[in-house]
Amino acid sequence: MKVPYLLTPGPLTTSDGVKRAMLRDWGSRDPDFIDMNRDVRERLVALAGVGDTHVCVPIQGSGTFAIEATLATLVPRHGRLLVLVNGAYGRRMVEMCRVMGRPVESLEWREDQPVDPSQVDRRLTDESAITHVAVVHSETTSGILNPLDAIANVVAQHRRGLIVDAMSTFGALPLDGNRVSFDAVVASSNKCLEGVPGVGFALVRRDVIAASAGRSQCLSLDLFAQWQGFERNGQWRFTPPTHVIAALSRALDEHETEGGVAGLGVRYARNHEVLVDGMVEMGFRCLVARSLQAPIIVTFRMPGDPRFVFEDFYDRLSRRGFLTYPGKLTVADSFRVGCIGRLGEGEIRSALRAIRDVLDEIGVRDGAPAEVSAR
């Protein structure tokens, strides 16, 4: 059977080169492996547009592990985190704080509305106990893009620490650390960097991490201890995800060859445009206004035609070689189609043809949601 393209929020389709990079075994103390880690960490720092002021601390696991380690390590036990929530990943950070017993509060917006920096400004003016603010750059729940620059400015004016979940944008959307001031940006190997899953990382201000010894309540999810390990001998504290790092190293080579963040951004923007145009032509409607949408993943309203049953649509489309993703929204019934990973306009057009075929097969003429098709 043909391996399907993953039109999902991750894991994603990877290149042959990335897959081949995993064919060799590495010892964790192998000097070549240690060099490779140093190189990967330096390149990740450079991608955020920062220099020696920040360090990259990778940690085993999926992106969630890296976020949890970052919150545990950066937010003091008697600090207070304000989470800006407009989707599931924001809610998850609130839950993490509850689990680890960090004082937390949230400001919430609808899932199809971006975070409003003026409300953040007001809350920070009113509540001096808040030490840190956390925000998701693009909420993968809906695909919406939050105004990171404006939020970062507000947080900097109030002299609080900013923690950014840039999981679904890092490497594809510009992040200029010289303009956007942050304490930590967290991302992972398997989204826009087009590596394989298994490692997350935080890019943390050096003075901030240096001051965070002993804060984490957790042994393995302790970014400070993890950083100290790398500082000491360039090695991982616990078994490193060797093949994942080798794949990420190769993925970063390919990222650079494609023209870095700008080059990848162009490919994804084109994927996004072709996808949305093609879907709208078939009657589907996007949840989020186009101007608010990141070129990462698109949420479509569930069609009103009763013959469209998502599980059945999913199965038929997967047999044609494309995997989509269910919705995760509370505001509307929906499904998602990603436009990131190692695919381009050609694959998106093939996916659109396959979607058209499936609609014909199940007798759905129009993908419009109920209240649109009823008009």
Ligand X SMILES: *Cc1c(COP(=O)(O)O)cnc(C)c1O
Nearer to ligand X, 63 or 177 (CB): 63
| CA atoms of 217 and 124, how far apart (whole Å) | 26
Determine which helix (DSSP H) or strand (DSSP E) holds 133, and give its type and residue range.
strand 132-136
CB of 323 to ligand X, least distance (A): 15
Nearer to ligand X, 62 or 318 (CB): 62
For ligand X, give the closer residue by CB, 33 or 325.
325
Q: Residue 265 and residue 258: Cα distance in Å, rounded?
A: 10
Cα(284)–Cα(275) distance, integer angstroms: 11
To ligand X, the closest distance from the beta carbon of 160 in angstroms equals 21
Query: How far apart are CB 211 and ligand X at their closest, in Å?
Result: 25
What is d(CA 176, CA 159) in angstroms, rounded to the nearest whole number?
19
Give me the least distance between CB of 35 and ligand X, in Å please: 27
How near is the Cβ of 49 to ligand X at its closest, in Å?
20
Of the two residues 64 and 153, which places its CB atom closer to ligand X in the complex? 64
Beta pairing class for 54-60 and 81-85: unpaired
Residue 139 beta carbon to ligand X: minimum distance, rounded to whole angstroms = 6
Nearer to ligand X, 33 or 201 (CB): 201
Q: Please identify, using beta-carbon distances, which residue of 82 and 358 lies nearer to ligand X.
A: 82
- Which residues of the chain form contacts with ligand X (CB under 6 A)? 9-10, 62-64, 89, 136, 140, 165, 167-168, 188
Burial 229-262 (b: 16+ CB within 10 A, else e): bbeeeeebbeebbbbbbbbbbbbbebbeeeeebe
Minimum distance from CB of 93 to ligand X (Å)?
9
Provide the 3-class DSSP secondary structure of residue 181: coil
Is the Cβ of residue 62 or residue 228 nearer to ligand X in the bound state?
62
Other C-beta atoms within 10 Å of 184: how many? 27
CA torsion 335-92-264-143 (nearest 10°) is 30
* Residue nearest ligand X, CB atom distance: 63
* Cβ atoms of 108 and 130 closer than 8 Å: no
